[in-house]
Amino acid sequence: MVETAGLYQRYDNNSDYVLKNINLTINRGEFVFIVGASGAGKSTLLKLMIREIAPTSGTIKVFGQDLKRIPARRIPYLRRNIGIVFQDFRLLEERTAYDNIAFALRVTGTPWWEIRRRVPRVLEMVGLKDKERCRVCDLSGGEQQRVGIARAIVNRPAMIIADEPTGNLDPDTSLEVMNILRDINIQGTTIVVATHDQEIVDRFQKRVIYLEKGRLVSDEKKGAYIRAL
């Protein structure tokens, strides 16, 4: 799914590298945490995976496609296969849960009858069937993030990338949200989560990639945050 070799990244020619010699492979169906202190390079690595930024040197391949060489017209197709979940949800607050998800389907050209069939299904998957017609601004933080996850999965991506998905949530709600991501993973979707949330990482016992000042310093199959440190 993701393969990097000798990947270096910096934001401009005169500044330091914020990622240094990253070599990693994420296989289909994996659940991976990317951890590390603020500024370690977690978001930068995720931005590279969705080709929001181009690699400075080295290679990054996603779905076998070299993102340094990918033609601009192919980028939307790449992103269509990746669902993105944000810390701050990035929903249309005045619109309903249904509309937010329907919108993600409309932009990929899904016909209306398919939208009407799929939106209730994904809302049911995240436990929000009864909130379909609620405006997002009337939902709790945890419910909003569940709408965010439903929106990320509705186009049936091969991979979900989540940047601090529990960053704005309390511990119980965080656990609920992560359990949903785990269920989605069990059904076959690859999941990559950047997080600070030590409790979550320790509890889930998944692969943990630890970044420190831009370097990959540990990669454990069934890791805990503490062991990574």
* Beta pairing class for 190-195 and 31-35: parallel
User: What is the identity of the amino acid at 124?
Assistant: E
> Can you name the residues that pair with 33 across neighbouring β-strands?
193, 208
Note whether 138 and 61 are within 8 A (CB): no
Note whether 33 and 40 are within 8 A (CB): no
Using rule CB under 6 A, residue 4 touches ligand ADP: no
Q: Closest Cα to residue 50, out of 152, 123, 148, 149? A: 152
Note whether 48 and 2 are within 8 A (CB): no
Q: Quick one: 14 or 187, whose CB is closer to ligand ADP? A: 14
Number of residues that bind ligand ADP (CB under 6 A): 10
Q: Quick one: 11 or 77, whose CB is closer to ligand ADP? A: 11
Least distance (Å) from ligand ADP to the CB of residue 7? 13
* Beta pairing class for 207-212 and 31-35: parallel
Using rule CB under 6 A, residue 38 touches ligand ADP: yes
Q: Quick one: 40 or 201, whose CB is closer to ligand ADP? A: 40
Using rule CB under 6 A, residue 11 touches ligand ADP: yes
Using rule CB under 6 A, residue 187 touches ligand ADP: no
Among 2, 40, 191, 193, the residue binding ligand ADP under the rule CB under 6 A is 40
Note whether 122 and 150 are within 8 A (CB): yes
Q: Pick the stretch among 37-45, 94-102, 130-138, 178-186 that binds ligand ADP (CB under 6 A).
A: 37-45
Note whether 203 and 123 are within 8 A (CB): no
Least distance (Å) from ligand ADP to the CB of residue 164? 8
Gap between the Cα atoms of 165 and 225, Å rounded? 17
Least distance (Å) from ligand ADP to the CB of residue 60? 14
Using rule CB under 6 A, residue 18 touches ligand ADP: yes
Using rule CB under 6 A, residue 36 touches ligand ADP: yes
Site of interaction with ligand ADP (CB under 6 A): 11, 18, 36, 38-44
